[in-house]
Amino acid sequence: MSTRDDKGWFAIREPLSQSKQQILVLLSFLGPILTWCIVSYTPFIWHPDIRLDISAQRQGVSTVFTAGDHLTKSYYQEFEQFIRDENVLILEQQSGKAEAPKNLSKVRRDNIKILRQLTPIATKQGWLPKDEKIPDEDLIALWEAIATKPGGFEKLNALTDENITVIENNWNLLNRHYQETGSLKMVSVPLQKLVPQGVPVNPVYLPAPHEVLQKGWYEFTKKPENDKPSMWSRLRHSVRIVFTGFLLSCLVGVPLGILCGTYDFFSKLFEPFIDFFRYLPAPSFSTLLVAIFLAHDAPKIALVFVGTFFQLVLVVSKTTTLLDKSLLEAALTLGAKPKSLMTRVIVPGILPNLYNDLRILLGWSWTWLVIAELIGVKSGLTEFIETQGRWRNFDSVFPVIFTIGFIGFFTDQILAQLRGLFFPWTGEKVSFILRKWIDFYHWLTGGRVNVTNNQHLQGSQ
């Protein structure tokens, strides 16, 4: 495996071998994903919350938890204990040891609620159909089925023994009442409450990977409903804002930057103010921009513009000044007039670095997207993130956040790949896959273009 010239993994300022690099690149993505999976799927590592499968309503407490809610472990234990204590009291009331409640209609209402607490876990386990309004009769039948255990309900792993006992006790009571009155409803003796049941989970802000994937797939494939835009049209909208803002910023900023980098006149005239202005936080202009550009997309695009423009001018100016001055002098001794230096030397000379600058600034403009979409009328992906986040549907939020990341990352990667193609003279590698694509394209169109990787020609002096 290791050869004599293998420098190991930690050689100072030495590049790693190709295979080692690939392993690490893979790890840099796999690491976080694996951590996420481990944290999500191994309950003993973290899981500080309990997600309720069966909830209960406490006597005299107005806060209502429903199945699906997250409780901290310590509160959950308290919650369980309260219900158990209430059940002890209810048993005493049933047997007459304690005074029964006077308000019979409230007792009946509570009893119906207790019956219904079983619905979420029943639908989750498939004992009852999903997505339908379940009539109370079916629920009562389910209680009967569980209590009397006909075939199929022998193994009730989903329910704790404690709750099965509660169900059996309650069913006996109901059945006795039925024998007496011929009706299953309207029992006026308080029923025992189902003890809260739940599974340990991570906090609501960290949904498991599969939940995020499922939800992402669902959000991106579902038909738009009512007047809500589909996820794809939200995405198009967001991309349009970023790119329009960025392009406008380039349209003004690039020429201005080149002028500043070329003529000290423009540099001294514009740069000091721009240098000051870029420290004014762009989001603080949001209300101002809305006042100027009114609603819709204009203020949003303006915000991306304000956020990138000032940096862009300074960066482009810097890049322009970095062009080797002796190239300009050489051009002058070859007969170039100062006016033609701009088109014949400066612009072609800085293009590859300018390209890189713009790549970085495009990434920069993506960071302004979220703030831009929040100002005025909320729109695009951000509106979705905002709304879902408020409802704490983080499993819907994550796919959208990742989508923004993917678009930014892949645009940048593609642009980086294309650099070698646009500027063959920089000697940058055109990746194998890209070269094959170009060959294929030229084979299709019948043309021929040489995309050679730079090789240094030595020897022949």
Q: Please tell me whether residue 339 binds another protein under the rule CB under 8 A.
A: no
7-15, 113-121, 208-216, 341-349 -> range binding another protein (CB under 8 A): 341-349
Minimum CB–partner distance for residue 442 and another protein (Å): 18
**Residues that contact another protein, how many (by CB under 8 A):** 31
Residue number, 52 or 331, with CB nearest to another protein = 331
- Window 409-428: contact mask with another protein (x via CB under 8 A): --------------xxxxx-
Q: Which stretch binds another protein (CB under 8 A): 232-240, 252-260, 287-295, 346-354?
A: 346-354
Please state the closest distance from residue 257 (CB atom) to another protein, in A. 19
* Smallest distance from another protein to CB 345, Å: 7
Q: Check binding of 45 to another protein (CB under 8 A).
A: no
Nearest approach, Cβ of 201 to another protein (angstroms)?
58
Asked if 327 touches another protein (CB under 8 A), the answer is yes
Site string for another protein, 201-240 (x = CB under 8 A): ----------------------------------------
Which of residues 230 and 426 has its CB atom nearest to another protein in the complex? 426
**Is residue 120 a contact point for another protein (CB under 8 A)?**
no
- Shortest distance, position 202 Cβ to another protein, whole Å: 53
Query: Which member of 63, 179, 284, 326 binds another protein (CB under 8 A)?
Result: 326
Instruction: Name residues contacting another protein, limited to 347-366 (CB under 8 A).
Output: 348-349, 351
Smallest gap from residue 460 Cβ to another protein (A): 8
Q: Report the residue number, 115 or 345, with the smaller CB distance to another protein.
A: 345
For residue 444, state whether it binds another protein (rule: CB under 8 A).
no
The distance of closest approach from Cβ of residue 216 to another protein in the complex, given in angstroms and rounded to an integer, is 44
Can you give the three-state secondary structure of the chain, one letter per residue? CCCCCCCCCCCCCCCCCHHHHHHHHHHHHHHHHHHHHHHHHCCCCCCCEEEEEECCCCCCCCCCCCCCCEEEHHHHHHHHHHHHHHHHHHHHHHCCCCCCCCCHHHHHHHHHHHHHCCHHHHHHHCCCCCCCCCCHHHHHHHHHHHHHCCCCCCCCCCCCHHHHHHHHHHHHHHHHHHHHHCCCCCCCCCCCCCCCEEEEECCCCCCCHHHHHHHHHHHHHCCCCCCCCCHHHHHHHHHHHHHHHHHHHHHHHHHHHHHHHHCHHHHHHHHHHHHHHCCCCHHHHHHHHHHHHCCCCHHHHHHHHHHHHHHHHHHHHHHHHCCCHHHHHHHHHCCCCHHHHHHHHHHHHHHHHHHHHHHHHHHHHHHHHHHHHHCCCCCHHHHHHHHHHHCCCHHHHHHHHHHHHHHHHHHHHHHHHHHHHHCHHHCCCCCHHHHHHHHHHHHHHCCCCCCCCCCCCCCCC
Q: Is 448 in the site for another protein (CB under 8 A)?
A: no
Sites of contact with another protein (CB under 8 A): 324, 326-327, 329-337, 340, 344-345, 348-349, 351, 423-427, 454-461
